[in-house]
Amino acid sequence: MRKYRFGLVGLGVISKYFISALENNYQAELLAVCARSKGLRKPYEDKGVVGYKNYIDLIANPHVDVVIVATPNNTHLEIIKAALLASKHVICEKPLVLNPWNLDALA
């Protein structure tokens, strides 16, 4: 059975819930994480997860199937758009966008 490889952008409080869900799913693998802080990335890198400082680099990883966006709300649109343009599946912590008219930017 195929494993889906996930990249997680943002390592704040909400990310722990996503990581827990991935760890409890035999079809999921946390492949990469992204955070500006090396201190936040390091515990995952020590476990063999690829760490990135920039979400563009995480999205460019051809082995990442799904991008989870767990960053501050005002950054969701930019990250989601980049992931979709790279043909990645996306899971986003709410809200998807700050204003409904921004949804057109994702079409």
Q: Where are the alpha helices (DSSP H) in 1-107?
A: 15-23, 38-45, 55-60, 76-85
Can you give the pLDDT at residue 101?
84
- Mean pLDDT for 19-36 is 97
How many C-beta neighbours within 10 Å does residue 52 have? 21
- Closest among 90, 13, 28 to 58, alpha carbons compared: 90
User: How far out from the chain centre does Cα 59 lie?
Assistant: 8
Q: What CA–CA distance (Å, rounded) separates 41 from 100?
A: 32
Q: Model confidence over 43-53: pLDDT tens digits?
A: 999 999 999 99
Q: Tell which wins on pLDDT, 36 or 95.
A: 36
Q: Model confidence over 76-102: pLDDT tens digits?
A: 999 999 999 999 999 999 988 888 888
Read off the pLDDT band of 104 (50, 70, 90).
Answer: confident
User: Which residue type, as a one-letter code, is found at position 70?
Assistant: A
- Mean pLDDT for 12-35 is 97
Backbone phi, then psi, for 6, in 5-degree steps? -110, 145
Q: What CA–CA distance (Å, rounded) separates 23 from 55?
A: 22
